Amino acid sequence: MAASSCRGVRSILWKYGSCGKNFCVSRSKTVPQLPVRHICVSSALWKKNLAAAGPQKFTLEFINKQVEEFEIGKRHLANMMGEDPETFTQEDIDRSIAYLFPSGLFEKRARPVMKHPEEIFPKQTAVQWDAEGRPFHFLFYTGQQSYYSLLHDVYEKILAMERHQDNMRNKGLFTSETKQILLTGSRWLLKEEIEEYLVENISDHDYMRMIQLMEKLLSMPYCSLEEEFILKFRKQLEVQSSKHEIPALQYDPQGVTFSVADGRRKTAKASITLRDSGSGNITINGRNYLHYFPLLQDREQLMFPLHFVGMLGRFDVEGSVEGSGHSAQAGALRLAISRALLSFVSEGEVEKMRQAGLLTADPRIKERKKPGQEGARKKFTWKKR
């Protein structure tokens, strides 16, 4: 019995003695001896907190080191390919990597790449608190400080514009016919573009709130005072009509101007010659279009481009077409006629034709039949037995 008691006391002393860093014993004449535990953080808990902190933040030193290694690798790759390292562009790098490391993987993101670190590592916000843990920004605890800071700035500009408007009204100089911002050919930044600008993720509701606030700022009479700020959140649209090549006018021995263009739809290929100062005759493969296209719908396809620009009956049309069916041939001829008309119309009419869809090729083709099915989409009749 005494031996077991000694072993129990010895185990207790060993237990408290091994945890001397975490426990201390207080001695007092009136208070019994009680173990008091200090607050400490174990290494396992520290790792858990690091994992819960989110994705790893790449420091500036790390990015600079990666850029330095990229430049060294770029020079080595240029020397391997026999190129000048000073004029070795990113296109040359991609071509060299595809040559040295050929890959048959269909997923392009799984293929070997060598890109600049700024393209590989995502953008991230800088450290937002000081050494004592105090955040720099007063909107830090909203969780979206950049987004709410932007809304705060927009609303401040609205209030400032209202004050300016009141001052002009008090001076008797207010007028609603003020200079407006030219927004033709531009659009608001998309949600993904705003997220990239703010380096924050926002919801669809937050995006709509921001656009509504910007629209309110844009609708004010003196919005031109903040033109530079508003245009930061607008993106210019590419002029599509500049992509269309306008065929040059040609002259025959009699001095008559004509234009030649091609068109395609499905497997049909068409070629058109428009001769100016004609009588409106249309021949397809040496035959009158009334005999070549018995259906009224196909004839309307041919006449629509000429009718749209108001030049019906002005040209003699000579066309040749082959392949596919009558509907696809009519579509190919219509596209060829539209392209040939570009040489005879103004830039404004070219843009109207583009908006009407006359200059856009129809990319639709017949969908292939799928194995195990009756057709491209149709399934076999299901039978239970």
The pLDDT assigned to 124 comes to 61
What does the alpha-carbon distance between residue 189 and residue 234 come to, in Å, rounded to a whole number?
6
The whole-model pTM stands at 0.46
Residues 6 or more apart whose Cβ sits within 8 Å of residue 277: 256, 257, 314
Residue 41 in this model has a pLDDT that exceeds 50: no
Residue 52 in this model has a pLDDT that exceeds 70: no
Residues 6 or more apart whose Cβ sits within 8 Å of residue 57: 124
The pLDDT assigned to 21 comes to 42
Q: Which of 188, 167, 359 is nearest to 261 (CA)?
A: 359
What does the alpha-carbon distance between residue 244 and residue 353 come to, in Å, rounded to a whole number?
11
**What SS3 class is residue 341?**
helix
pLDDT tens, position by position, 273-328: 999 988 899 999 999 999 999 999 999 999 999 999 999 989 999 999 999 999 99
Angle at 202 between CA 201 and CA 206, to 5 degrees: 170
Angle at 226 between CA 220 and CA 231, to 5 degrees: 105
Q: What is the DSSP string of 171-193?
A: TT---S-PPPP--TTEEEPPHHH
Write down all domains in the chain, each with its CATH number in brackets: 60-120 (no CATH), 145-236 (no CATH), 250-355 (3.30.230.10)
pLDDT tens, position by position, 217-269: 988 888 888 888 999 999 988 755 455 678 888 998 888 999 999 999 999 99
The pLDDT assigned to 239 comes to 59
Answer whether 315's CB lies under 8 Å from 302's CB: no
pLDDT tens, position by position, 331-342: 999 999 999 999
Average pLDDT over residues 32-52: 45
- Count other C-beta atoms under 10 Å from residue 274's C-beta: 27
Position with higher pLDDT, 24 vs 293? 293
Residue 136 in this model has a pLDDT that exceeds 60: yes
Average pLDDT over residues 206-218: 93
